[in-house]
Structure formats: C-alpha cells, structure tokens
Amino acid sequence: MKRRAAAALLMLAMVGCSSVGNLYDRWFGSQPAAKPSPLPPVQNTAAARIVWQANVGPAERAVFFPAVTGNMVYAASAAGRIVGFDARTGKQVATIAVGQPLSGGVGANGAMVLVGTGKGEVFAFDAGGKQLWKAQLSGEILAPPAIEGTLVAVRTGDGRIYGFDVADGKRRWVYQRTTPALSLRTYSGLVVDRGAIFAGFAGGRLVALTAATGTVGWDSVVALPRGTTELERVADVSGLPAVDGDRVCAVAYQGRVACFDAQSGSTIWARDMSSYAGLDADHRSVYVTDDKNAVVALDKTTGASLWKQEKLAGRGVSAPLAFGRFVIVADFQGYVHVLSREDGAFVTRVPTDGSAIGAPPVALDLSSFVVQTRNGGVFAVAVE
C-alpha cells in the first residue's frame, strides 16, 4: 500500500457549540502562540534542491494534502481548483474547476480524483476532469477521501466514515460513534490497507473497520481522557495512523503514543506523549512531532527513546515523513527540514514560499517528495 504520509492539521472546537480556540493558526499559522525558535544552524551533510514548483491557489483556512498517484501529483485550492502535474517535471497536465469552494482533499488513483466541500459534498472526477458522480454526506469534509479497489472511503467532521461504490458513488455503509462535547477538529482522515480501514477518533480510540462492509474489526485505546475539566480531558488521536507490516501506530493529544497488532488490535507498547501533528514510521522506528514541536524517534519494537530533536520549538512543525536515511518535517514559515534518521541532526534545509506547510511531506519516489503551502505553492524537493 502506498500510504499518504500525512498527518494532521488541527483546531480545538466545541462540537455543535462555540469555538474555544484555533489550533490551526496557533500551530501552523503566520503568528504562532509561542515565540518561534530561530532557525538552527545546518552543516549541510546532505544535498537538497527544488526540482519544480507551481501554485494552485491559497488553501485559506483549509488544509490540502497533495496526492501522488503513478506519475501524477494532484493538488487543490480552497477556491475549487484542482491541478494535476507531471511528477517528474511539474508540467501542468490537467485542470479541474469544481465550481464551488473546497475544504478537503485530494484523494486520487490512476483513474479518479476526489475532493470534498464544507457542505458535505464529495466530488469524483476522472483524470481528464469529467465529473463522474457527487455524493451528499452529513458533515463538512476536512480530510482527503481514500480509494481502495471498488471502495471510496470518506470521513466527515462529525466523526462518521462513509463507504461508497467507486463506480457510481452509491453509499454502501456508514460508521459512526459518539463524539465528546470537546474534541479536536482534525484534517487527517483514514488509512486503507489490505482490506482494512484504520482511523483515530476523539476520546483516544483507534478503530479498524472491514473496508467491504464497514463493520468493526477492533476498537483499541490509544489514550484515556484524564483531568477535571473538559479541556484537560481532551485526549484525541491526532494525525493519520502509521501502518507498517503487522502493526499500526497512533498518537493522541494529551495522551500516549502506542503501537498495536494490526490483526487483533492488541497493544504492543504504549508510552505517554502528546501531539497535535501526528507521526510516521519505517521498518525500525516511529517518528512523532510532539506538542512542543520536538521531533522524537522511538524504537518501533519496544517504544524506547532513540533521539529527540528540540531545536524547532514554536515553529509549527508538521507531522514527519520517514524517508529512507532521512526524516522530513516542515514548519510555519515554509521551511523544509531534513533530519538524519540515525540521530535527528539537521542535515539540510530548503525554503519554499514563506507560508505555512500544514500537511506533512508526501513521497514522490525514493529520492524526492512534495509539499503544499498555505499560499498554494506546490514544491517537489529532491534530497540525497
């Protein structure tokens, strides 16, 4: 499975009530709540360069995840524009005008491109821009839809997950659970892998669904709410789960990071940690951006600490991308930081357009990845 290395962009909001804060602007916006650390020095022991760049239009208050499929990169804007680029050259190959503002995307495979709106509509287009179908859901769509075989899976802001037929958009099933009064409003969606859907929820739960039917395979605890006030008791899973082989890992805000057996949901290990942004994993380590903007590496087998990079405090650091010998993160000023997988040291850095990068970098191939900024910049970066 090609898993989006994507993670979360989050805002604290009362579900059905008034907002109690704006973590998007505090975490990834132009004015972080905490004074950002100055850029740490880099000795440039690796080389990075921008292979190509383009612009699709501002994200505004949404968060768009670029989608990589085959030799194409698709990116979207809040104004309703989707652009397909040749992944190698950045040449604009396709443009799709949705005709209304967008709030979530992009999901894509070789034949279909999917986006969502704040009104709960999902639009499916073919690679040439022809609309294939549209479906109406119960709540705003903040995360990229996912495509797996004959199924399209979509998550809404009210905590539901829908399964649609890829051919005509007819609804197959819907999964829903009770949402706490106070929860994280998340821009991360779900991961589909080998016939299962993995998604984290408010209240610190990680759920595995059977993709064909939407039935629950297992429901496990990442973190339990604790504290005396509703705010203290927010312990929601943030970012996308990291699925790698026989295990799936997740992290919760004001909670824990934990890895589970992918088949049974049994806990392999867990340790206290808090994250707004999310995590990623490779064959030996789990990498987490914690709520103080430190990037932490943990042993995937035991959860033991391997290293911690703390010099990006206050910089609104994205979820990491595990990328061969490197770990890639981005920040609120559009800098892409390349860390050593071995010890977390900075090995090189690349500036983009100066605006926040909220979604994590997405791998293009073994040597390059793509990021999308809040101002709509799309940058393909090669590192070696």
The answer to whether residue 4 sits within a structural domain is: no
With beta carbons less than 8 A apart as the criterion, state whether 242 and 249 touch: yes
Please state the domain count of the chain: 1
CA atoms within 13 A on the CB side of 12: 16
Q: Output the DSSP codes for 207-243.
A: EEEETTT--EEEEEES----SSSTTTT---EEEEEEE
The answer to whether residue 105 sits within a structural domain is: yes
Residue 25 φ/ψ, nearest 5 degrees: -70, -35
Q: Give residue for tokens 């850095």.
A: 349
DSSP letter for 157, please: T
The answer to whether residue 5 sits within a structural domain is: no
CA distances (Å), origin 21, targets 157, 183, 363: 17, 11, 32
Residue 15 is predicted with a pLDDT of 36
Rounded to whole angstroms, how far apart are CA atoms 259 and 262?
9
User: Model confidence over 237-296: pLDDT tens digits?
Assistant: 999 999 988 999 999 999 999 999 999 999 999 999 999 999 999 999 999 999 999 999
Residue 349 is predicted with a pLDDT of 98
Rg (CA), the chain: 19
Residue 51 is predicted with a pLDDT of 98
Rounded to whole angstroms, how far apart are CA atoms 165 and 133?
10
Tokens found for residue 253:
């805000």
With beta carbons less than 8 A apart as the criterion, state whether 217 and 210 touch: yes
Q: Which residues 6+ apart lie within 8 Å of 222 measured at CB?
A: 200, 204, 205, 206, 237, 250, 251, 252, 255, 256, 257, 258, 270
With beta carbons less than 8 A apart as the criterion, state whether 378 and 85 touch: yes
Rounded to whole angstroms, how far apart are CA atoms 62 and 365?
26
How open is the CA angle 298-2-221, to the nearest 5 degrees? 45
The answer to whether residue 1 sits within a structural domain is: no
Q: What does pLDDT average to over the chain?
A: 90
Tokens found for residue 153:
């899976």
User: 3-state DSSP call for residue 47?
Assistant: coil
H helix count then E strand count, the chain = 1, 34
Rounded to whole angstroms, how far apart are CA atoms 187 and 10?
6
Tokens found for residue 330:
């981005």
Q: Which residues 6+ apart lie within 8 Å of 285 measured at CB?
A: 297, 298, 299, 300, 306, 322, 341
Given a cut of 50, the residues of the chain with pLDDT beneath it are 1-22, 24
Residue 181 is predicted with a pLDDT of 67
CATH number at residue 32: 2.130.10.10
The answer to whether residue 204 sits within a structural domain is: yes
Rounded to whole angstroms, how far apart are CA atoms 296 and 259?
15
The answer to whether residue 305 sits within a structural domain is: yes
The answer to whether residue 2 sits within a structural domain is: no
Rounded to whole angstroms, how far apart are CA atoms 250 and 240?
7
- Domain encompassing residue 224: 10-383
Q: Give residue for tokens 């986006």.
A: 115
